[in-house]
Structure 1
Amino acid sequence: MEPAIPEHLVTVRTRHRRVGAEYTPPYPCFVARHNPSVSQVVMAYFGLQFRPGRETAAAVPLAAIAQVFSEQDGPGHWDRARCTDEEGFVNVVSVAYWNDPARFQNWFAAHGAGWTENEPADAKLGFFTEILKPAVERYETLFSASDRAEGVAVIADGMSGMVREHAYWGGMRDRIPLSQTDAMEPAGAPRVVKERDRLRIIPQDNLCLIRSGQDWTDTEPEERRMYLEEVEPVLRSGMDFLRDEGLSCGCFANRYMQVIDVEGRPIEKSFGVSWWKSLSALERWSESHPTHVAIFGAAMKYLSSLGPAAKLRLYHEVTVAAADQQFFEYRNCHLKTGMLKAG
């Protein structure tokens, strides 16, 4: 059993963990391990927004961003997903990760900064860029299996052995290295400013982002049926609540996304990605809100019925970003897009 926080990030605690050293989790989970030389990563969401039926026009900028990801200093990993938002617009997001912010800055100056300048003449498309550049002390990961990485974990060196800090309320916080000494409480409030034809967010301190995913590619037919018929509808209901009413519990924005390949074909993977006022707000929703209690109950019933034979893979990454580690820019997007809702 390993501690979730790697040895080189362990410091003298001034804040207590939620469980003691004698705690043993009921099932195995794993975390991503970066090389100790990695001190900061980049999580960049390049979004395209359009009305249904505009897929042909949307294909041009989507192909362009995929192409420039392969240019010098491009991301170590990227993937793509789509959803329909609360206003009925399709949102396709290409999510890219770097383990070197200097390389990201070089690439972004050459290729990424122009993303929100796109406007094909034959269609009205919206473009947005949502970027976090957290120090490694400010985020954590968790995986139900150690042999397939997703998201930021793909650019890590590998996975840990089984870790202790999971399967209890508060484990998410306990896995974030900064939690050893800092409550990570929010400061300030995000606000929208207009710069020419773009809207930008002046960020708050300690904004929280979670990407939480599901992978059912390896499931046998009966397990796939159980997941898609008994668990996924409950998950979707909770994701829809956060999308439509999340502000009531501190969630600024939520997207429940279907992973797709570069040709736009769905893959048997999904993830929710949501922006929160604070880690505390995310914790309160997770621990006590009826929508998440229902998700948790459906998942536990599913997993307890299958036991070790379950092949569904689950993961998440949670980040608490300082104000100077955030960048949000929107062009030609409706005002409920992403962090625009927060302003």
Structure 2
Amino acid sequence: MESAIAEHLKCPRTRHRRVEDDYTPPYPVWSARAPASVKRVVMGYFGVQSRGAEMQGRACATLMKIVRDFALPDGPGHHDLAHYVDADGYDNMIAIAYWSEAAAHERWCATPEIDAWWRSDDRLSEGLGHFREIASPRVEHFETMFNTPNRFEGVGVVMGEVSGELQEHGYWGSMRDRIPLSQTDAMAPSGTRAVIAGTPAPGQRVRVAGHENIAMIRSGQEWAETTGQERTLYLEDMEPVLREGMDFLRDEGLGIGCYSNRYMHHLDAAGAPLQKSFGLSFWRSLADMERWAESHPTHVAIFGSFMRYVQALNFQLQLRVYHEVSVLKADEQSYEYINCHARSGLMNGLATA
């Protein structure tokens, strides 16, 4: 068993973990490891927003254009496709891309055909919304966790290596303990979100600046290999409770510090749904996320259904679960929206009456 914090990221602690050195977790999990040469990664959410069946074909074609562009020089090492219907009834098709080198992402974005397409006035007149939400955390500022050591998701795919079994999990506060920065920093938020260009509304190009220590989590599950009792438990007991919690964060999250939440389902290359889903949410702080996780009825219900699930199966799961959590400095965030409605992503709650 080893620490979630890689050896080259350890430093003398000024802040204590929530568990003692002899703590033993109830079941095994693993983390993705990057070589010491990796200093910063990029997690990019490239979205196409539409409304109504008549626009779906155009939205799909645009998403496929984005994916083709990933094959250009300096493109991402991994990408996923996902779909989400937001609270306003808009379809959001998203390509989620991961780079293990921030400089490569910057070069890719500056590629003339990509930059010109994004800046073109056509983006405002074709009846679609577009957004780019880019998080580029330093390796000290994020953590990953998987219940399998050999099949990773998200940023784990591009990190290249795997840890041994981790000690810091299975208790409240373990998420914080797995982030290297937590050794010396409370990761408290400061400042506020701000619109720095445009006005949150359709027909606008909008840029939003994030503040210090916004927390971002992608937390997912795959049930494709479940059968029998396990499949029934997931689909009939666990997933409905999970969906209820995700809907609460989508609709009422602002009141508890959740700026945006999307409960998304994976798509294959042809646009067909897979048996995989994940929630993506942005929070004012890691502490706000922790308070929801530890005490809010919606997450207490999610945690309770998961514990019933794993205990009924004696911790022998075919369900694959994972998450990646980042605490983002202001210079590690970029949010841009073109022709999107005012509650899209990090614009949520910023529109003036």
Q: Give TM-score, length-normalised by structure 2.
A: 0.94
**Does 2:334 correspond to 1:333?**
no
Please give the per-residue CA displacement for 1:57-76, whole angstroms capped at 9, x wherever unaligned: 11221111110101110001
Do the aligned partners of 1:82 and 1:93 also contact (CA within 8 Å) in 2?
yes
Do the aligned partners of 1:57 and 1:122 also contact (CA within 8 Å) in 2?
no
**Does 2:159 correspond to 1:152?**
no
Which residue in the other structure is 1:34 paired with?
Answer: 34
Long gaps (5+) in structure 1: none
1:168-317 aligned at under 5 Å gives the runs 168-195=171-198, 197-317=204-324
Aligned equivalents of 1:24, 1:112: Cα separation in 2? 49
1:1-150 aligned at under 5 Å gives the runs 1-53=1-53, 54-110=55-111, 112-113=114-115, 114-115=117-118, 117=120, 119=122, 123-150=126-153
Do the aligned partners of 2:124 and 2:339 also contact (CA within 8 Å) in 1?
no
Counterpart residue identity of residue 27, structure 1:
Y
| Larger CA deviation: 188-197 vs 136-145 | 188-197
Aligned equivalents of 1:199, 1:248: Cα separation in 2? 23
Please give the per-residue CA displacement for 1:111-143, whole angstroms capped at 9, x wherever unaligned: 554446474798510000000111000000011
Counterpart residue identity of residue 95, structure 1:
I
Do the aligned partners of 1:116 and 1:330 also contact (CA within 8 Å) in 2?
no
Deviation at 1:308, TM superposition (A): 3.7
Aligned equivalents of 1:304, 1:102: Cα separation in 2? 45
Describe the shift of the 1:163–1:112 C-alpha distance in structure 2 as closer, same or farther (beyond 3 A): farther
| Larger CA deviation: 92-101 vs 304-313 | 304-313
Counterpart residue identity of residue 79, structure 2:
W
Counterpart residue identity of residue 298, structure 1:
S
Counterpart residue identity of residue 109, structure 1:
A
Aligned equivalents of 2:88, 2:122: Cα separation in 1? 20
Do the aligned partners of 1:116 and 1:331 also contact (CA within 8 Å) in 2?
no
Describe the shift of the 1:225–1:204 C-alpha distance in structure 2 as closer, same or farther (beyond 3 A): same
SS at match of 2:148: coil
Counterpart residue identity of residue 196, structure 2:
V
SS at match of 2:155: helix
Please give the per-residue CA displacement for 1:197-247, whole angstroms capped at 9, x wherever unaligned: 411112211111000000111111432222011100000000000000001
Counterpart residue identity of residue 232, structure 1:
E
Q: Identity rate of aligned residues, in percent?
A: 50
| Larger CA deviation: 36-45 vs 121-130 | 121-130
Aligned equivalents of 1:231, 1:173: Cα separation in 2? 25
Please give the per-residue CA displacement for 1:282-313, whole angstroms capped at 9, x wherever unaligned: 00000000000000001110110012432101
Aligned equivalents of 1:124, 1:40: Cα separation in 2? 35
Do the aligned partners of 1:30 and 1:145 also contact (CA within 8 Å) in 2?
yes
Do the aligned partners of 2:265 and 2:278 also contact (CA within 8 Å) in 1?
yes
Counterpart residue identity of residue 75, structure 2:
G
Deviation at 1:262, TM superposition (A): 1.9
Do the aligned partners of 1:44 and 1:95 also contact (CA within 8 Å) in 2?
yes
SS at match of 1:329: strand
Please give the per-residue CA displacement for 1:294-339, whole angstroms capped at 9, x wherever unaligned: 0000111011001243210110000001101110000110000000
Counterpart residue identity of residue 183, structure 2:
Q
Aligned equivalents of 1:314, 1:118: Cα separation in 2? 41
Do the aligned partners of 2:124 and 2:338 also contact (CA within 8 Å) in 1?
no
| Larger CA deviation: 85-94 vs 107-116 | 107-116
Deviation at 1:31, TM superposition (A): 0.6
Aligned equivalents of 1:205, 1:37: Cα separation in 2? 25
Do the aligned partners of 2:42 and 2:100 also contact (CA within 8 Å) in 1?
yes
Aligned equivalents of 1:264, 1:221: Cα separation in 2? 27
Q: Give TM-score, length-normalised by structure 1.
A: 0.97
Aligned equivalents of 2:335, 2:119: Cα separation in 1? 11
Aligned equivalents of 1:302, 1:324: Cα separation in 2? 40
Aligned equivalents of 1:166, 1:282: Cα separation in 2? 16
Describe the shift of the 1:46–1:304 C-alpha distance in structure 2 as closer, same or farther (beyond 3 A): same
Do the aligned partners of 2:264 and 2:279 also contact (CA within 8 Å) in 1?
yes
| Larger CA deviation: 121-130 vs 104-113 | 121-130
Please give the per-residue CA displacement for 1:4-52, whole angstroms capped at 9, x wherever unaligned: 1000000000001010101000100111110111010001100111003
Long gaps (5+) in structure 2: none
